[in-house]
Structure 1
Amino acid sequence: MSDVRVTIQRDSEREERVVTTGTTAADLFQGERSVVAARVAGQLKDLAYQLAEGDEVEPVEITSQDGLDILRHSTAHVMAQAVQELFPEAKLGIGPPIKDGFYYDFDVETPFTPEDLKRIEKKMQEIQKRGQKFARRPVSDDDARAELAGEPYKLELIGLKGSAAEAAEGASAEVGAGELTIYDNLDAKSGELCWKDLCRGPHLPSTRVIPAFKLMRSAAAYWRGSEKNKQLQRIYGTAWPTKDELKAYLEFLAEAEKRDHRKLGAELDLFSIPEELGSGLAVFHPKGGIIRREMENYSRRRHEDADYEFVNTPHISKEGLFETSGHLPNYAEAMFPPLEFDGQNYRLKAMNCPMHNLIFKARGRSYRELPLRLFEFGTVYRYEKSGVVHGLTRARGFTQDDSHIYCTKEQMADELDSLLTFVLDLLRDYGLDDFELELSTRDPESDKFIGEDAEWEEATEALRQAAEKQGLPLVPDPGGAAYYGPKISVQARDAIGRSWQMSTIQVDFQQPKRFGLEYTAADGSKQQPVMIHRALFGSIERFFAVLLEHYAGAFPVWLAPVQATGIPIGDDHVPYLQEFAAEAKKKGLRVDVDASSDRMQKKIRNAQRSKVPFMVIAGDEDVANGAVSFRYRDGSQKNGIPKAQAIAEILDAVERRIQV
């Protein structure tokens, strides 16, 4: 038996080791229970992989992102085995890992019920305890077809092997672009085959290595994500390295559910999405309208201070405008179908930038006017698929706080610096302060991006330098750029740690060229401006939803639709509180009085449920002293506050944009 030399790579440390032929990655990391796979020459491998001369081997721990993906993909296989043991007629779709979990698609006659999920989870626990081994086995295309003859969706994936598989939803986890492999689930004692699946892998060594999992829900899903295909049943689950982490995740989900903006929107009477209007089209109720107005008004004031000029554009345009901008050839699937009248095709506006270009082009421009900052609360319409529409966060009709800045190349760097600072400061004013930045660049292998290499390099470098000056983490997003230029996205974490994409800033050399935009330079020559796209909220509706969930409905006083509610101890105290409310309203505060016949304690509970910041209570002693008592949202109380001082405290909370 000969020896082979391998290198173990751990972060920056390298260790040379001589092992015998036939040594596996599992042997190399024996005793390291957290290691579930290995990366060899950059490729993920099962621990059963036999080491070869010159291999560079890196351990993959279960807590790493790769380790979590392997854990969750392996758990998806256990779920699929459990489903076929309980429902032998079920045909297999795909089962990839996803963020925080996994899913698997099945073709079954009837949808899964909650009781079915309980049975499947129990069967998974049995399989997990059996300690079945995951064994990788290369197969030819013909052999794979023969072995999986009863699985029509797997046969389709075999035909997609290669680049087409990479484009199919989740298919790359099944077949990839190289040789086909089947993973056998083998009995731990006898080695007999228990189940098998077409899969690229890698997997955990055995089912016993799966520490903690739970099935979450089932839903309908089109095969390969296309509405043209059959609808399958998808089961979602989650898996974690420890039971404590699973418990923490489930508690996080429970908290997130409490904060769901759709639920809070109904409970607090803020907005609704009527069936009669259609999916993804919301109406804001009076209280939601107040919050939205305050959001917009504050943003408008800040933009005025920063020398933005306000414009308005229509909701519909001739189709040719979007041909010129490049959106129709590159973005048509997100636009509503054309409307035909007067012998021409028109489109609902899906973006504001082409119309802002027309404003720039409406007359001659001088370098003295630049930078020209145009701003609009512009409503747009996107044809989102029904499966991805989600309350206000993924809508079909929404309003962007959209800005387009036209500047010279010499002004571009300073404009990006000040713009990014402006964006981050304004988001902080709304209560978000935990950020990272994402730099989205083009994929040089893709043909969807327009423009010259040098233009992309210049635009990307300008964004990179502006981002680095903020001192925030900068995360690369290769291939995520818009078709016309790179972008910086601001990712903000909310109160429970979720990351939301907020503002985007894009540098565009292409649309000015396509529209023939130009200005007269100091030397009299005609020059093309740089165009910077910027949406600060992204959309008002989505930002509204993010803030609603961030604050769990308990908005800071300046945004709260009702800032104070008067609660009389008895009916005799109603007029006194109404006078207080009238005085407060003269100061611009939003104050009402609960004059209903409910008992005082119920009025307090109603105000708490409505998440009103200040409850203003008055009884005989308060009336006699010209005072009121405050009860805050946290249940604390302050008594005997003179009326003028009470109004001043509310005004101060509004001015400082704080919660109470």
Structure 2
Amino acid sequence: MPVISLPDGSEKVFDKPVSVYDIALDIGPGLAKAAVAGVVDGKLVDMSFMVQDDAAIKLLTVKDNQGLEILRHSCAHLLAQAVKQLFPSAQVTIGPVIEDGFYYDFAYKRGFSSEDLSKIEQRMHELAQKAQEVIRSTMTRDQAIAYFESIGEKYKAEIIRDLPENEELSLYTQGDFTDLCRGPHVPNTSYLKAFKLMRVAGAYWRGDAKNEMLTRIYGTCWADKKALKAYLHRLEEAEKRDHRKIGKALDLFHFQEDSPGIAFWHPKGTAIWRVVEDYMRASNTKYGCTEIRTPLIADISMWEKSGHAAKYADNMFMTHSENREYALRPMNCPTCVQVYNSQLRSYRDLPLRMAEFGVVHRNEASGALHGLLRVRSFTQDDGHIFCTEEQIESEVTQMIEQCFEVYRDFGFNDYDIKLALRPDARVGSDEIWDKSERALADALTNHGVKFDYLPGEGAFYGPKIEFHLQDAIGRSWQCGTIQLDFSMPERLGAKFIDQQSEKKTPVMLHRAIVGSLERFIGVLIEHYAGKLPVWLASTQVVVIGVSNKQDEYIQKIQTKLQNMHIRSQIDLRNEKIGFKIREHTLARVPFIAIAGEKEAASDQISVRKQDGTDLGVLSISEFSKLLSDEVAKKGLVTS
């Protein structure tokens, strides 16, 4: 009699083997109808899975992340079924789940058009409404190869040939369509109610440019139509907020093929950069980090010792000089260790905190480049702390507080914390990894921070805490990290003299708060839709006159504002006042100050905000205080 343990601690006893569906039905008809899969002793299974023995079971609905992924995977199969019905000569290849949706790659000679997508989507809805039962079956490897070859699916057969000979394979059938898949899948196609095909792209078979080009169809799938509608709205909003478009419109930066993946920063963009960098420099000083600068290029032997050459070999820019091989640094950590190693350290020197705005280079594939968000050269707000094991928790706690403060000042109030654990490719013993992961988990727990685990996502030298920021339209951006590293200091020979006058290896904490300054500025632009708060805006106020008679008065105002370190500009063009106001409003300048004869005579200024709010006529001192107060809201005060 299987005894079923449920997540709430309760148990259910059955007098014979029972399916996951029947367990859900025993709990309640509503749950049986909503559940899409189960987790039996940690393994994902279909609702039809038979439980033979005692087991711990969790039921998944589309409200669970895993349940939503199953929904999306089933929708990929629905897409493939529709394509095969409408275009029988098309061959199916692979169709995985991705963030917010799925895709499926097809081998089809003429490819697919947007008109094809609408037909395919319509057929998908028709198939979903039929509530086709999704049935799991198994075959041996040889049986599966023979089956897919018999129906002309050579790509599936090729995939299976690469699998172990003795492996039992699972197949899923719905109506007239059968696909190779580990599963699980929804019980029937009626669960698929809210989906949309998004676009078509090219993709090489197995990601290899030497292979034939396939057609990839992307789609999205959600629990219900309301969630789908909200997602499509976010996409529309994201298009409006695209930092590349806004950056061009506001004259902040540009890219060109002479330096692919590396931004050319214009004066206005550089002004924003300086604000972010200066803010982080002040934050580092507040939290006890002293600033250093280290070389961009180092002998390849340094990167071999640190482990970066093995990890980033394909992404490192190399150069040669006088029969020596050098690399542009892909990370700042090894050069920082050299500063530490430049003199003998004592336990009294620890913790030793160093910060660097370090430029790194990575030879990213051209197809992966994306404005400021994915580049080949970027500046990290790196921090490296050398400490003893006993100091780990207090140092990590301080870093967490610094991160929270920085994110609040930049306008991010919602964020998720994740602890990324050991990857398959790593350096260091399991014992060290156990200790490292436990230390970061304890620091988070003892500080009252809620977090989720990310198995396999740690750095190659240690686990890391990740900060995922939520922007104004609900997108998540992974920015800051805190990484615990026992390995690199040992590999690079870092030592300190302990209280017993013996040499010991320090622990190294790596931390970045905004991460890549380029990427963070891109995120800020999209978060604020280009309407940056006063303290971040490249131009905080523009001063314009009703006519050229006020030019001298306007220049006098600008001098006063500049003396207060307010970023201002004047517009003396012989244009109509309405034209000037509209142009600077579109340029997202937070404040527009207007002077006519009346204002010039009374030493005042008429002020309006970027959103059109009229603040009336203010004295120069009143206006300067208004600007100072606005700047102070985000942690900076004019002086």
- Match of 1:431? 411
**Which residue of the other structure, out of 356, 359, 365, is the alignment partner of 1:376?**
356
**Mapping 1:65-84, distance limit 5 Å:** 65-84=65-84
- Match of 2:346? 366
Amino acid at match of 2:379: T
Question: Aligned in 2, Cα 1:629/1:343: closer, same or farther, shift over 3 Å?
Answer: same
Is the CA contact (8 Å cut-off) linking 1:271 and 1:282 kept in structure 2? Answer: yes
Is the CA contact (8 Å cut-off) linking 2:252 and 2:269 kept in structure 1? Answer: yes
**Which residue of the other structure, out of 288, 292, 305, is the alignment partner of 1:307?**
288
Amino acid at match of 1:179: E
Question: Aligned in 2, Cα 1:21/1:258: closer, same or farther, shift over 3 Å?
Answer: closer
Deviations 1:324-370 (A, max 9, x none): 1111123323323x333322222121111111122222232333333
**Mapping 1:293-304, distance limit 5 Å:** 293-304=274-285
Is the CA contact (8 Å cut-off) linking 1:441 and 1:486 kept in structure 2? Answer: yes
Distance 2:96 2:472 in 1: 29
Distance 1:69 1:301 in 2: 43
- Match of 2:223? 241
- Match of 2:168? 179
**Which residue of the other structure, out of 237, 243, 264, is the alignment partner of 1:283?**
264
Distance 1:21 1:439 in 2: 37
Is the CA contact (8 Å cut-off) linking 1:420 and 1:466 kept in structure 2? Answer: no
CA shift for structure 1 position 291: 0.2
Amino acid at match of 2:255: I
CA shift for structure 1 position 243: 1.1
Deviations 1:248-305 (A, max 9, x none): 1111221222222222212222112212211x22111111100001111121122233
Which 5+ residue runs of structure 1 have no aligned equivalent?
A: 164-176, 187-193
Three-state SS of the structure 1 residue aligned to 2:196 is strand
- Match of 1:324? 305
CA shift for structure 1 position 596: 2.9
Question: Aligned in 2, Cα 1:162/1:539: closer, same or farther, shift over 3 Å?
Answer: farther
CA shift for structure 1 position 111: 4.1
Does residue 601 of structure 2 align to residue 612 of structure 1?
A: no
Deviations 1:124-148 (A, max 9, x none): 2232233333222222222211221
**Mapping 1:106-145, distance limit 5 Å:** 106-145=106-145
Is the CA contact (8 Å cut-off) linking 2:17 and 2:50 kept in structure 1? Answer: no
Distance 1:41 1:185 in 2: 27
CA shift for structure 1 position 607: 1.7
Deviations 1:464-512 (A, max 9, x none): 2222243221211222222222222222222222222122122222122
Distance 1:157 1:410 in 2: 51
- Match of 2:570? 593
Amino acid at match of 1:182: L
Which 5+ residue runs of structure 2 have no aligned equivalent?
A: none
Question: Aligned in 2, Cα 1:629/1:314: closer, same or farther, shift over 3 Å?
Answer: same
Bigger mean CA offset, 46-55 vs 373-382: 46-55
- Match of 1:491? 468
How large is the Cα RMSD of the aligned pairs? 2.7
Distance 2:54 2:443 in 1: 43
CA shift for structure 1 position 449: 2.5
Is the CA contact (8 Å cut-off) linking 1:6 and 1:51 kept in structure 2? Answer: no
Is the CA contact (8 Å cut-off) linking 2:543 and 2:568 kept in structure 1? Answer: yes
Distance 2:57 2:279 in 1: 55
Amino acid at match of 2:130: R
Corresponding pairs, count:
631
Three-state SS of the structure 2 residue aligned to 1:400 is strand
Three-state SS of the structure 1 residue aligned to 2:593 is strand
- Match of 1:173? none
- Match of 2:368? 388
Amino acid at match of 1:146: A
CA shift for structure 1 position 620: 3.2
Question: Aligned in 2, Cα 1:376/1:7: closer, same or farther, shift over 3 Å?
Answer: closer
Distance 1:143 1:347 in 2: 51
Is the CA contact (8 Å cut-off) linking 1:352 and 1:378 kept in structure 2? Answer: yes
Three-state SS of the structure 2 residue aligned to 1:648 is helix
Distance 1:530 1:6 in 2: 47
Bigger mean CA offset, 19-28 vs 247-256: 19-28
- Match of 2:147? 147
Three-state SS of the structure 2 residue aligned to 1:202 is coil
Distance 1:366 1:61 in 2: 56
Amino acid at match of 1:352: N
Does residue 11 of structure 2 align to residue 14 of structure 1?
A: yes
Distance 1:385 1:47 in 2: 42
Distance 1:59 1:309 in 2: 51
Does residue 146 of structure 2 align to residue 196 of structure 1?
A: no
CA shift for structure 1 position 398: 0.6
**Which residue of the other structure, out of 491, 497, 520, is the alignment partner of 1:520?**
497
Three-state SS of the structure 2 residue aligned to 1:538 is strand
Amino acid at match of 2:12: E
Does residue 240 of structure 2 align to residue 258 of structure 1?
A: yes
Is the CA contact (8 Å cut-off) linking 1:10 and 1:59 kept in structure 2? Answer: no
**Mapping 1:433-512, distance limit 5 Å:** 433-442=413-422, 446=424, 448-512=425-489
Bigger mean CA offset, 416-425 vs 397-406: 416-425
CA shift for structure 1 position 541: 0.8
CA shift for structure 1 position 62: 2.6
- Match of 2:526? 549
Question: Aligned in 2, Cα 1:40/1:355: closer, same or farther, shift over 3 Å?
Answer: closer
Is the CA contact (8 Å cut-off) linking 2:607 and 2:614 kept in structure 1? Answer: yes
Is the CA contact (8 Å cut-off) linking 1:437 and 1:467 kept in structure 2? Answer: no
Is the CA contact (8 Å cut-off) linking 1:269 and 1:287 kept in structure 2? Answer: yes
Amino acid at match of 1:383: N
Deviations 1:54-81 (A, max 9, x none): 5665433232223212221111111112
Is the CA contact (8 Å cut-off) linking 1:40 and 1:56 kept in structure 2? Answer: yes
CA shift for structure 1 position 20: 9.1
**Which residue of the other structure, out of 161, 186, 193, is the alignment partner of 1:211?**
193
- Match of 1:156? 158
- Match of 2:249? 267
